Amino acid sequence: MSDYIDLSKYNNKWYQTGGSLFKRILWHLVNSLILKSYLIPISSVKVIALRLFGAKIGRSVVIKPGVNIKYPWKLIIGNYCWIGENVWIDNLEKVTLEDHVCLSQGAFLLCGNHDYKKVTFDLRVLPISIKSGAWIGAKSIVCPGVTVGSHAVLTVGSIALNDLEPNYIYKGNPAVACKERKIS
């Protein structure tokens, strides 16, 4: 029977969120009332809330309604970035968006997963880095540990399991390079 997952042995006490219980609860409320809400569509209010909780955010960042961010203190956003409706940044580890990055509607940045090969189903967390000028298409997923190269594109509904090279367009599950991105 030891060859089966046993969630009673699951233990992620080693994992550090970087925030006290009070800070996490307060962030959960602010996230629900300001970022995830469609009642406050003003980006500057969302940016202020994120900065108050430790996010490092550049100039002219657009954050649309319905965005969900796990831990703002593990988030760096460069200048002139666009975060579309219903984007979920599940940043159990650091997420860095360099300048001019676009995360389209429903994109999902996932920094954590579980080790399905271990009986204890251990949590694994890795950072995500999205380089300048990259575009993550609607309903796409960027998995733990992935670096999206400068000006790379992950097309609609695709899943990046591995690093994406700069200046290429990727599609599919798992995402593969389908052609070079030429910007005129």
Two tokens, residue 140: 């796409």
Return the closest-CA partner of residue 71 out of 127, 12, 137, 150.
127
| Pairing mode, strands 112-114 and 123-125 | antiparallel
Model confidence at 13, in pLDDT bands (50, 70, 90)? confident
Q: Which residues, listed in sequence order, are joined to residue 10 by a DSSP beta bridge? A: none
CA 171 to chain centre: 18
Q: Are 66 and 38 in contact (CB under 8 A)?
A: yes
Q: Which CATH superfamily is domain 20-180 in?
A: Hexapeptide repeat proteins (2.160.10.10)
pLDDT above 70 (res 1): no
d(CA 112, CA 114): 7
| E strand or H helix at 26 | helix 21-30
- Which amino acid is residue 127, in one-letter code? P
Which whole-number Å values give the CA distances from 103 to 5, 64, 137, 140, in the listed order?
A: 35, 10, 7, 9
Q: Does the pLDDT of residue 79 top 70, yes or no?
A: yes
End-to-end CA distance of the chain: 60
Mean pLDDT value of segment 123-130:
97
Q: What are phi and psi of 171, to 5 degrees?
A: -150, 155
Cα 162 from Cα 145, distance rounded (Å): 8
Give the up-direction half-sphere exposure of residue 43: CA atoms within 13 A in the CB hemisphere.
Answer: 14
Indicate yes or no: pTM above 0.85.
Answer: yes
Q: What percent of the chain is modeled with pLDDT above 70?
A: 98
List the single range of 4-13, 34-43, 136-145 with lowest mean pLDDT.
Answer: 4-13
Nearest C-alpha neighbor of 17 from the set 130, 150, 134, 111? 111
Name the one residue in this structure whose structure tokens are 């030429």: 182
pLDDT at 123 over 80: yes
| Domain boundaries along the sequence of the chain | 20-180
